[in-house]
């Protein structure tokens, strides 16, 4: 790959901004596309994203723009960092502009309601003749820009993608690992959001370390259980995009999902908690989707069922904890061959 390659990051939130600037710092011409014309112009002039990452100065190779046609049409690699609710609409805009055999990477952690569709599956449906990948892991943008040591995963069946993306994104403090299980990596990023809400709820009620450890471990078991039913490799969940991301989002108040759970645990309604956070919280919708899918596939997920009851039916979190003690599942480690 030469310095002539141009890369576009679509989405001007904190993670999209951080990723775009890493790429630009690696000496690639990079576009950061923002939908809002005023925000894009402000960021380009000030050389920082004042709304999401104030004080984080941009590389000279980074151009912030609201010109979608220019950003996509000139780029060989396109990174999508938008909310799941607008993901498909963005791909419909990308489709007529994207170059043949371009690499298109999703960093969005969510599931579309229609058909229980992941974001890379949306890419498959909306784009043709492109190379698709997923980037996911325990990656808080605020720590990435502080140059805290961070690992992430690029997942694709296409070796061109897994060969090139680490070159584009890696830095002294940002390490990109490779996985071929795109679906498993993507499910890990989406499913863990639900359990981060539960962890926030539990912490708000003052549960002990023993209880938290039990919740995290059984959450991982549930993630692997439904992912296997859906065709993913359960071993993927032992990596950064599974247990790594789960630990991060369930133990830090930098996680929006954790903060929502904590606020609800302290007596606020979901709309009140969302208003306080001020950004989208993907896990709330994911709880509804996964509960429905688990019932459809007959997958045992007591924590998801309990969390649904807490968030949407007014059940006490203490009742959910009791489910762990009386549930049907008795084996500690699944997929061990026992």
For 189-326, CATH number? 1.10.1040.10
pLDDT higher than 80, residue 11: yes
Digit-coded pLDDT (tens) for 122-139: 999 999 999 999 999 999
pLDDT higher than 70, residue 72: yes
Digit-coded pLDDT (tens) for 185-234: 999 999 999 999 999 999 998 988 998 998 899 999 999 999 999 999 99
pLDDT of residue 324: 62
pLDDT of residue 144: 97
Architecture of the 6-180 domain: 3-Layer(aba) Sandwich (3.40)
The pTM (predicted TM-score) of the whole model is 0.91
Element (H, E) at 106: strand 103-106
pLDDT of residue 310: 92
pLDDT higher than 70, residue 157: yes
pLDDT of residue 3: 47
Q: Which residues contact 321 (CB under 8 A, 6 or more apart)?
A: 202, 207, 211
29 flagged as catalytic = no
For the stretch 147-151, contacts whose Cβ atoms lie closer than 8 Å and that sit 24 or more positions apart, written own/partner, are: 147/172, 147/173, 148/173, 149/173, 149/175, 150/174, 150/175, 151/175, 151/176, 151/177, 151/240, 151/244
Q: Which residues contact 64 (CB under 8 A, 6 or more apart)?
A: 12, 31, 32, 34, 40, 43, 44, 58
pLDDT of residue 68: 98
pLDDT of residue 314: 86
Digit-coded pLDDT (tens) for 258-316: 999 999 999 999 999 999 998 888 899 999 999 999 999 999 999 999 999 999 998 88
Kindly report the average pLDDT of the chain as a whole number: 92
Q: Where are the domains of the chain?
A: 6-180, 189-326
- Give me the catalytic one of 29, 192, 268, 322: 192
Q: Which residues contact 108 (CB under 8 A, 6 or more apart)?
A: 80, 81, 82, 83, 84, 87, 119
Beta bridge partners of 118: 111
Same CATH topology for 6-180 and 189-326: the answer is: no
């Amino acid at each position: 790959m030469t310095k002539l390659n141009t890369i576009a990051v679509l989405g001007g939130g904190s993670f999209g901004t951080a990723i775009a600037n890493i790429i630009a710092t690696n000496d690639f011409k990079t576009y950061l596309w923002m939908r809002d014309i005023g925000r894009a112009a402000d960021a380009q002039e000030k050389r920082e994203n004042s709304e999401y990452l104030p004080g984080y100065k941009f590389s000279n190779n980074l151009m912030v723009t609201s010109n979608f046609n220019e950003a996509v049409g000139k780029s060989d690699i396109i990174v999508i960092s938008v909310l799941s609710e607008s993901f498909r609409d963005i791909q419909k805009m990308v489709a007529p502009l994207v170059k043949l055999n371009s690499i298109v990477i999703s960093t969005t952690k969510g599931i579309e309601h229609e058909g229980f569709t992941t974001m890379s599956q949306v890419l498959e449906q909306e784009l043709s003749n492109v190379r698709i990948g997923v980037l996911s892991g325990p990656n808080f943008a605020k720590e990435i820009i502080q140059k805290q040591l961070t690992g992430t995963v690029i997942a694709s069946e296409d070796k061109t993608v897994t060969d090139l993306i680490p070159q584009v994104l890696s830095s002294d403090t940002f390490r990109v690992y490779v996985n071929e299980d795109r679906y498993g990596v993507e499910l890990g990023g989406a499913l863990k959001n639900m359990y981060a809400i539960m962890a926030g709820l539990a912490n708000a009620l003052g549960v002990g370390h023993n209880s938290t450890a039990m919740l995290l471990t059984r959450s991982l078991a549930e993630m692997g259980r439904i992912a296997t039913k859906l065709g993913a490799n359960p071993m993927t969940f032992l990596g950064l995009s599974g247990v790594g991301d789960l630990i991060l989002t369930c133990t830090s108040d930098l996680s929006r999902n954790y903060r929502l759970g904590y606020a609800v645990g302290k007596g606020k309604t979901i709309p009140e908690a969302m208003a306080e956070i001020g950004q989208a919280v993907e896990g709330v919708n994911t709880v509804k989707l996964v509960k429905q899918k688990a019932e459809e596939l007959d997958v045992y997920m007591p924590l998801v069922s309990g969390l649904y009851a807490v968030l949407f039916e007014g059940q006490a979190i203490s009742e959910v904890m009791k489910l762990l003690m009386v549930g049907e599942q008795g084996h500690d480690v699944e997929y061990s061959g026992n």
